[in-house]
Amino acid sequence: MASYLSGGQQTTVNSTITELFPALCFNNNYNPKSPEDLENFINKLDLSSPKSKKTFVTDSDLKAGKEFVVLKDSIRPDMRQEKIQNAYAITKFIFETHKNKAIDKVVWGYREKPRGVPSNHAGDVFIFFKQKTYPAIAGISLKAGSEKSAEPKLNSYVKTTLTKSMWAKSAPRAVPQLKKELWDKVYSKIPGLPKSITADNYFQSLGKNEATKPNPMLIEKMIDLFEADPARFDELYGIMNIVCREKLCEVINKDINAAKQWIAEEFRLETKGEEIPLVLVKAIRTKFQLAGDPLADMLPTIKKIKAYLNKNSVQEWFIDVSDGKKTLTLLMTIRSDSEFRRAKPKGKLGSFVGLKLLYRGIKK
């Protein structure tokens, strides 16, 4: 049986196909006639040629691009076909944009942003127009899916979110509090733990991101529970998820100004009037649509924010935002990024304060 990419590496290659390939086509003045035509062109393309190099901010991005072009053949054939179709749709969007306002180049915002673009800009690719009338540069946030699907617009983690600077005044101890509550309600309930494992040392945080260094003895007992009583293991994971969701809701509801800042900076909203606007484009097979963004339109006038759990779900929660006249309900999810198993005990309980946090769009 063939072995295909999975997890984060597959996600990165998938994104590369829909982001990098259209930029390379445009910069080489190649408007493909079909998805197959696009893939054949990319397969034969010299990414180090002068036209292709305009696509990359740094030599390291160029190197990564070359590696990902090769790795695209290591994702499942049906997935590769779908992503190539999406790349074809985005390429059509770029060439149609070019008809309305001439484009000089399209730059891939992989690890580095192009000169003149803020490092925290949410764009995946950046269109540089020949005319310097507004906008001279536009950031494009690309999503792929079906007409009714809701692709994540925020893709982060619980701890990463709670350590953001906007919560520093209203919730400076959110992560230590979460760690203590998870110990009390989840990890201390794992059978057979020695007394040497405590709320202080059951895991150590590594920096501000989601990375942790768990106590090795705790991991062994977690594996024992998973293998001996998977129902109890999943029950504890359900409690863990509730605790994490409740902590996020508590922090959000405590400070409306910090919550608005978090939404503005992290939710990949479509922006208008900014020096470098962000345009949301969704690829559906071989077609594209401009997504539009009611949340971005409401953001400046939001007067009330309320976060709360969906009590009928083990991972979903909501944020209601209101301007006093209209309310939007934001679909949020906290979940494990992977499964838990002996060979790789990283998912579910193995995530600790690092569960995945997603904003999936507006409830319809």
Q: What is the pLDDT of residue 230?
A: 96
Q: What is the pLDDT of residue 267?
A: 87
Cα–Cα nearest to 350, from 214, 195, 206 = 214
- Give the model's confidence band at 337: pLDDT under 50 very low, under 70 low, under 90 confident, else very high: confident
User: Residue 348, CB half-sphere, CA atoms under 13 Å: how many?
Assistant: 24
Q: What is the pLDDT of residue 210?
A: 61
pTM of the model: 0.67
Q: What is the pLDDT of residue 22?
A: 97
DSSP assignment of 50-95: HHHHTT-SSHHHHHHHHHHHHHGGGS-HHHHHHHHHHHHHHHHHHH
**Helices 59-71 and 7-27, interaxial angle, to 10°?**
110
Give the residues across from 222 on adjacent strands: none
- Give the model's confidence band at 8: pLDDT under 50 very low, under 70 low, under 90 confident, else very high: confident
- Give the model's confidence band at 272: pLDDT under 50 very low, under 70 low, under 90 confident, else very high: confident
Q: Inform me whether the pLDDT recorded for 281 exceeds 70.
A: yes
- Give the model's confidence band at 44: pLDDT under 50 very low, under 70 low, under 90 confident, else very high: very high
d(CA 93, CA 90) in angstroms, rounded, equals 5
Q: What is the pLDDT of residue 222?
A: 97
- Here the tokens at position 347 are 């998912």
Q: What is the pLDDT of residue 340?
A: 92
d(CA 319, CA 339) in angstroms, rounded, equals 27
Q: What is the pLDDT of residue 208?
A: 63
Q: What is the pLDDT of residue 209?
A: 63
Give the mean model confidence (pLDDT) for residues 246-270: 93
The 3-state DSSP class for residue 7 equals helix
Q: Is residue 349 within 8 Å of residue 341, measured between CB atoms?
A: no
Tell me what percent of the residues of the chain surpass a pLDDT of 70: 95
User: Residue 325, CB half-sphere, CA atoms under 13 Å: how many?
Assistant: 2
**For all residues of the chain together, what is the average pLDDT?**
92
List CB contacts of 159: < 8 A, sequence separation 6 or more. Answer: 175, 178, 205, 208, 209, 210, 353, 354
For 74-110, the pLDDT digits (tens) are 999 999 999 999 999 999 999 999 998 999 999 999 9
Give the residues across from 144 on adjacent strands: 283
Burial 310-321 (b: 16+ CB within 10 A, else e): eeeeebbbbbeb
pLDDT winner (highest mean) among 143-147, 209-213, 243-247: 243-247
Other Cβ atoms within 10 Å of 263 Cβ, number: 23
Give the chain's end-to-end CA distance (angstroms, integer).
42
Tell me what percent of the residues of the chain surpass a pLDDT of 90: 74
Q: Is residue 163 within 8 Å of residue 141, measured between CB atoms?
A: no
The 3-state DSSP class for residue 144 equals strand
Q: Which residue has the higher pLDDT, 338 or 166?
A: 166
- Give the model's confidence band at 2: pLDDT under 50 very low, under 70 low, under 90 confident, else very high: low
Q: Which residue has the higher pLDDT, 219 or 145?
A: 219
Q: What is the pLDDT of residue 354?
A: 92
For 110-161, the pLDDT digits (tens) are 999 999 999 889 899 999 999 888 889 999 988 876 655 555 678 899 999 9
List CB contacts of 176: < 8 A, sequence separation 6 or more. Answer: none
Give the mean model confidence (pLDDT) for residues 226-231: 97
d(CA 297, CA 299) in angstroms, rounded, equals 6
Q: Which residue has the higher pLDDT, 2 or 78?
A: 78
Tokens 């949410």 -> residue:
122
